[in-house]
Structure 1
């Protein structure tokens, strides 16, 4: 018999070799029908896989993210089976599930053939036929030699390439119906659970993301256990399309991309630059009040500094190639941390100088693969709301808590209601390889971070094997108003860089001591955060953040002088305003201003001019009545100052 521990703390005994599905059936037939996969000792398994030793077990239903990813992974295999039936001889590369956008894709080599949009409808029909057959997903362990022989006979160079990085004991095949693939799984029990199918798009994708390799065909899709959930998802996609930051960024004059500048290198237009400046103003005010000192660091540095930090050679693939000057190699800055460590070390420090907090909106350059670039979300030039805090162990909890409090303040300002902190921990089995070999410090700092989160009553989840190489971290996940998830920023503990850079302060006993370092970036980067805000607000920025806050709409040229007087008064109050002086009817001026998402319109005619008033229209809400001009300006100025 084996002991199975459940999330509620219950422990029950089952026969060795029982599967998660057997256990689900022993609890309830209804539960067994709903469960899609199982978490066994923290690892997601097929429901049919036998459990032969004591284990902790969590049964995963559709409302669990890992179950959804398993469902979509299985759907990718179902799609591959349909593709194989329509395009004999097709070769497959990888077909992962996706969290965002929801669903899956599969990269494939169709040879000389091309897949069309018309093919997607036929593939959907075929997938529905195959799903209804309710074929089981069957797992089979394979030796490396047998796996190589199988794909050699098929002439499949893509799977042979994957096998080159695997060893005996790591190789499994999965089959359903007439399709078999190299796959580590897990999968749902059978295809019948897939009730609603939509193939969404066809794209090109270079093999391994390298533009020097062959371009493969990538097919995206999404599936659900019911048509109702599919309909809701498709409605959300339409709303997301309306809010796409790339579309809004162009329409509102926020940013542009240019081939002569290069991919992933956004140019910020005047309106976008205003948004950047307002965000920096907010950050500077907040950080000044929290005791940070501002610094500025160069955009390049010598190779030796990145060798000291450990970013070379391990991070080299994400850095631009070096430049050679005067016999030295220089790299574009991919991170601000090493520069800040040098600033800490520039002058002697004592315990009285701690905590030492320095901040900058540092410009960094990262060589994202061309296939991964996406609007402002994945770029090669980024401006990071970066800061580093150097403190001792007694100060750590208060400093880490203060950073989290800063996050919460920002969430309130930007109307972010749904968020979660991901506490990323190390894997003890990978010490000395993926992680710094300091087991005591790992356990100590992870416990410290966990305790701060618990005491602060902040929602968080723990994720194994996702820490930074130098310490545990928090990744902040936020959701926009339409439910799209974004990774905003990070709050990291670093107990390694102090030693690497020989940083020290003099403690109360007049002895040198290495500080703990906190890396934090509450507003992330301008690029990602503004991309998020464009979608979150659907381009309708709050008044304090809007590039143009007020548009004055004179009914005719007769009222232009009054409009100019209003403009002057608004500018004196530091309100960004413009006059629409076009020779157009007022209805068109209103419609055009609505499209530009300007928060307030002031319509002025003879009555308004004679009474020194303004007819106020609020973006998206229409007529807000007539007000005394001075009263409107005072109210708008207060709204801006308070960042409502």
Structure 2
């Protein structure tokens, strides 16, 4: 056998040249390192069984890396599908991609899976895992694949989609790719006998023993390839991790996340609801939720006024042509509600505010002396989200954006971006989010999605990059993730349990001003085009509300709490005393209630704790005699005998300084 020369690349610096015998596999190169589950060769992920070739640069893929976790979870999805077909031979296979923190597989079965079914499937998966079945790749022709998979109608459909844009858009890319078609066989570790096979692009782990920790989570209905026009399949979700400890930590995290679910807390705390009569993704805010929302909006409004923004209002509906002018309709028609025809014209529900703000700018002549012009609106918009992705307040069909558009000169743009990003981060910190990273989304030069000149894109991207770097925060590249009209910076914020949420976005736009013919008179009297900066600070009021509910687990800081303090009398004789205290608190603008119900004091305390009220103000005979009250806090601690003026000052201080108690 001849030798081949390969390079082992462990990072951007460490490179090892090695001469090996022809037929040596990637697994042989990394023999003994069980943390490595695949290899990257010339940018392509390969199974460890891949035989290296002359000149290959081979990079190890560790199981803890993003690619490694995806391979682990996709392999677990195959094991789950094998287990399902072992137990339910009539089940037809859909797709089974890895997803964030887990995987799923879709099946066409006669009836939905029950919790008992999932237990049986998981037990069968454990048996398959222990047997150490080997994942083996083989290339097949389209014709051979169709013959072999004749009993799998959904796989046959995927073969027809091979290499198309459609398959890449709906998760099918885990099954088929643009190149050769491949099938993965699960082979018995001892005999090599075929146990199960599936159409798949790969790669996979070497054996099922490399799946150390997994659990099935739930099942539910899912339309084939995400379209309501297709059959409803049954989807089983699972999770898989490199170690049992990591699996346990993830399951513990999910328990905590469930406790914080804003949909559950919204109902428990009487904040908002989603009536069936309205339709999916449309919320109504109850009085308590309205109080929180008002506090959020009022503080934001005050900060914007201080920063020189001017408030505007625009309609909820417009002639369709407006969104053609802006360029949104050609690019985002699928995300907009269908047209409404009357008076012989098509109208659209507003899905974004920027076209209407452009009309405000264009309504009269503008001078350079007016720039930067900062327009701000709490503007309600409507977007057609598929019912399967609607999720409470964080993914809805009707929501209110805290939307701003800044019109400035090219020379003003760098400073405006710097000031704008600082303003955004400071305001998010005021609401209690403090852990950030920034994402810079740029265009893909190979895509025809993006409009505008190379020069404009380069200038806008560099200005955003410089503004982001001044913040001293991690900056993550997002190639190809820009809006069609310009690059953007997205603020990613982590909540109290470490989840990352996309918050504010800032976008530079040279294109809409061109499309609308926006101009201002410069100092030399010439007509110039402004730069347009898009900025949604919360993203939407509703979504930010949901994030804050989960961040605080419903226990809002005093300044945001719907009820900031509740008076709890030890007996009926103490009610007037607390009502007098409440009147003084309300006169200072505090939200104070007195529980004068017939419940016993301990039940009143439990009710206040359940409602997550920051301050419980208790009064009995000794308090009345001393002109004092006692505090009980949400954490169960208590402070007794506080003079009334001092007690009122403490609550006011917590509200004014926006601190958690």
TM-score of the pair, normalised by structure 2: 0.89
Structure 2 counterparts to residues 106-505 of structure 1, below 5 A: 106-110=105-109, 112-151=110-149, 153-157=150-154, 159-161=156-158, 163-164=160-161, 166=163, 169-170=178-179, 172-177=181-186, 178-430=195-447, 433-436=448-451, 438-505=453-520
Q: Offset at 1:290?
A: 1.9
| Residues 21 and 465 of structure 1: CA distance in aligned 2, closer, same or farther (over 3 Å) | farther
Deviation at 1:198, TM superposition (A): 0.8
Q: SS state of the match for residue 558, structure 2?
A: coil
Per-residue displacement from partner, 1:54-111 (whole Å, max 9, x unpaired)? 8987644344334323322222222112112222232222223222xx211112111x
Q: For residues 414-441 of structure 1, what are the alpha-carbon distances to aligned partners after superposition, in whole Å with 9 as ceiling and x for unaligned? A: 33343322212222111xx222253333
Distance in 1 separating the partners of 2:583 and 2:158: 68
Secondary structure, counterpart of 1:428 in structure 2: coil
Q: Secondary structure at the match of 1:500?
A: helix
Q: Deviations over 1:522-544 (max 9, x none)?
A: 21212221111111111110010
Contact 1:427–1:464 under 8 Å retained in 2: yes
Q: Deviations over 1:245-285 (max 9, x none)?
A: 11111010110111112121101011111111111112112
Q: 2:611 aligns with which of 596, 599, 611?
A: 596
Partner of 1:641: 656
Out of 517, 521, 525, the position equivalent to 1:510 is 525
Q: Distance in 2 between matches of 1:90 and 1:557?
A: 66
Does structure 1 retain, via aligned residues, the 8 Å contact 2:377–2:403? yes
3-state DSSP class of the match of 1:154? coil
User: In structure 2, how many angstroms separate the alpha carbons of the residues matched to 1:17 and 1:399?
Assistant: 61
| Cα contact 1:40–1:58 (8 A) shared by 2 | yes
What SS is found at the alignment partner of 2:225?
helix
Q: In 2 relative to 1, CA 639–455 (structure 1 residues): closer, same or farther, beyond 3 Å? A: same
| Cα deviation, residue 223, structure 1 | 1.1
Report if the CA contact (8 A) 1:107-1:205 is conserved: yes
Aligned match of 2:88: 87
Question: Are 2:335 and 2:385, in contact at CA under 8 Å, matched by a contact in 1?
Answer: yes
Q: Is 1:20–1:38's contact at 8 Å kept on the other side of the alignment?
A: no
For residue 589 of structure 2, what is the aligned residue in structure 1? 574
Within 2, Cα distance between the matches of 1:426 and 1:20? 40
Structure 1: distance between partners of 2:366 and 2:420: 22
Specify whether residues 134 and 571 from structure 1 end up closer, same or farther in structure 2 by C-alpha distance, changes over 3 A only.
Answer: same
Q: In structure 2, do the counterparts of structure 1 residues 347 and 69 end up closer, same or farther at CA, with 3 Å as the change threshold?
A: farther
Determine helix, strand or coil for the equivalent of 1:120: helix
Q: Aligned-pair distance for 1:164?
A: 3.0
1:557 aligns with 2:572: yes
The gaps in structure 1 that reach 5 residues or longer are: none
Give, in angstroms, the shift of residue 221 of structure 1.
Answer: 0.7
Secondary structure of 2:411's partner? Answer: helix
Q: Distance in 1 between matches of 2:309 and 2:118?
A: 55
- Per-residue CA distance 1:117-142 (angstroms, 9 max, x = gap): 11111211221222233344444555
Q: Is the contact made by 1:491 and 1:518 (CA closer than 8 Å) also made in structure 2?
A: yes
Unpaired runs of 5+ residues, structure 2, are 165-176, 187-194
Higher mean C-alpha displacement, 632-641 vs 57-66: 57-66
Alpha-carbon separation, structure 2, partners of 1:492 and 1:15 = 50
Residues 563 and 9 of structure 1, relative CA distance in 2, 3 Å threshold = same
- What are the Cα deviations for residues 460-509 of structure 1, in whole angstroms up to 9, with x where unaligned? 21122222111222222222212223222322222221212222223334
Q: Does the 8 A contact of 1:211 with 1:370 survive in 2?
A: no
Cα distance in structure 2, aligned partners of 1:38 and 1:303: 51
Query: Is the 2:106–2:235 Cα contact (8 Å) retained in structure 1?
Result: yes
Distance 1:325 1:369 in 2: 26
CA deviations 1:216-241 (Å, max 9, x no partner) are: 11111111121111111111111111
CA contact (8 A) 2:224 2:232 kept: yes
Seen in structure 2, the aligned counterparts of structure 1 residues 166 and 302 have a Cα distance that, compared at 3 Å, is: same
Q: C-alpha offsets along residues 509-559 of structure 1, whole Å, 9 cap, x if unaligned?
A: 433332222211121212221111111111110010100000001112212
Q: 1:458 deviation in Å?
A: 1.6
The residue correspondences of 1:607-626 to structure 2 (distance < 5 A) are 607-626=622-641
Q: Is the 8 A contact 2:452 2:510 kept in 1?
A: no
Give me the whole-angstrom Cα distance separating, in 2, the residues matched to 1:69 and 1:282: 42
Q: After the TM superposition, which of the residue ranges 475-484 and 13-22 deviates more from structure 2?
A: 13-22
> Is the 8 Å Cα contact of residues 603 and 614 (structure 1) preserved in structure 2?
yes
1:147 Cα deviation from its structure 2 partner: 4.4
2:554 equivalent to 1:539: yes
Q: TM-score, normalised by structure 1?
A: 0.91
What are the Cα deviations for residues 182-239 of structure 1, in whole angstroms up to 9, with x where unaligned? 4444444443221112101111122233444322111111111211111111111111
Distance 1:162 1:302 in 2: 42
In structure 2, what is the Cα distance between the partners aligned to 1:474 and 1:51?
41
SS at match of 1:422: strand
> Distance in 1 between the 2:18 and 2:28 partners?
12
Shift of 1:444: 3.0
Q: Aligned partners of 1:513 and 1:50: how far apart in 2? A: 61
CA deviations on 1:610-644 (whole Å, 9 max, x unpaired) are 22211111112331232111111122112211212
- Give SS of 2:184's match: strand
Cα–Cα, structure 1 residues 435 and 148, in superposed 2: closer, same or farther, change >3 Å? Answer: farther
Q: CA RMSD in A?
A: 2.8
1:173·1:180 contact (CA, 8 Å) conserved in 2? Answer: no
Q: Which moved more, 1:351-360 or 1:412-421?
A: 412-421
CA gap of 1:6–1:157, structure 2 versus 1, over 3 A, is closer
